[in-house]
Amino acid sequence: MGKRTLNLTDELYNYLLSVSLKEPQPAQKLREETNRMLLSAMQSPPEESQFIALLLKWIGAKRVLEIGTFTGYTTLLMGLAMPSNGRIITCDIDDRWPNMGRRFWEEAGVDCKIDFRLAPALETMDNLLSRDYANYFDFIFIDADKENYCNYYERAIRMVRPGGMIGVDNVLWGGSVINVQNQGPDTRGIREINKRIYQDDRVSMSMLPIGDGLTIAIREI
Ligand code: CA
């Protein structure tokens, strides 16, 4: 086998951050605050969120749907990457963490672009689908409960515009995807979505070993 993705030591990872991470101050403060709450495992690593923001700039995204807000770190960076008329609908079933993030959204001046929906994301998605949000979004980011990933994905395929992008987070799930002993609902949900997207002719896709694994799929035109 030829060269595969480099195994990042802590030192090399820190180097990568030192020459690439351009984290705005409100985002840095939000990340540190989240770390203080000891919930850092649920937060996307900063270089991954920065990459997603870069993708949004690249495609000129104005309409974004995020499934799983948490403290809204990625939400904040996506907001900064979008034009002033850009809008993010972001869904979560718990408003404690988005409420924590909100003051940093305000500090970054992106709160006006963020429309937080407190409800199970499947309900919010079905609701949007019944109100003309099919073929609507430029980018949909799936990063909520893993058990429902395929359900989110099937809706996302209908909601993203042709040529638009779907991002799916945690697709390597800490490596547990290859541990056959692990048959927990989350791990099975991740295996299922990975197989689904790989076999799906409706999209072109690539899986990146960034963070906990990120799949990018583009809906065929
Ligand atoms: Ca995640």
pLDDT, one tens digit for every residue, the chain (221 residues)? 566 888 899 999 999 999 999 999 999 999 999 988 866 667 789 999 999 999 999 999 999 999 999 999 999 999 999 999 999 999 999 999 999 999 999 999 999 999 999 999 999 999 999 999 999 999 999 999 999 999 999 999 999 999 999 999 999 999 999 999 999 999 999 999 999 999 999 999 999 999 999 999 999 99
Q: Which residues surround ligand 1, an ion (CB under 5 A)?
A: 143, 169-170
Distance (Å) from CA 94 to ligand 1 centroid: 15
Domain ranges in the chain are 44-219
| Phi then psi dihedrals of residue 82, to 5 deg | -105, 155
Distance (Å) from CA 173 to ligand 1 centroid: 9
Under CATH, which number does the domain 44-219 receive? 3.40.50.150
CA distances from 148 to 20, 87, 144, 152, 182 (A): 33, 24, 8, 6, 17
What is the pTM assigned to this prediction? Answer: 0.96
Report d(CA 182, CA 67) in Å as an integer: 25
